[in-house]
Amino acid sequence: MPGFLLHQGATVLCAHGGQAQPTAPNPRVMVGGQPIVTQATMYTVAGCPFTVPSGPMPCVTAQWVSAATRVRAGGQPVLLQDSQAVCVPNGTPLTIVVTQVRVRGI
């Protein structure tokens, strides 16, 4: 499904409200002056307050499990507004809240 490309400045949150940021965006492809992000890029999560009865279990990192099927950068599928990720260690999703609105991919 088509969606806007994810870039470094996009607002991405874990299911509990922690802020997620890419560790290494693609420096060769820019959108709105910011590098785009590919599926291979790991995200780190800061400020996740999630706890379970046995103690804290905050989201620490996230790995993307779906991305564009027809658009690649550096040989890797780019991330789109509807891409899905899973947080480690608790398996909850990331939510893409805000991204650029000029470039779409499939």
Q: How confident is the model at residue 2 (pLDDT cuts 50, 70, 90)?
A: confident
Residue 40 pLDDT: 97
Do the beta carbons of residue 61 and residue 43 sit within 8 Å? Answer: yes
pLDDT digits (tens, 9 = 90+) for 9-68: 999 999 999 999 999 999 999 999 999 999 999 999 999 999 888 889 999 999 999 999
Residue 36, judged by CB atoms within 10 A of its CB (0-12, 13-18, 19+), counts as buried
Residue 38 pLDDT: 98
* Alpha-carbon span 75 to 103, nearest angstrom: 19
- The CATH fold of domain 3-92: Tumour Suppressor Smad4 (2.60.200)
Partner residues linked to 28 by β-bridges: none
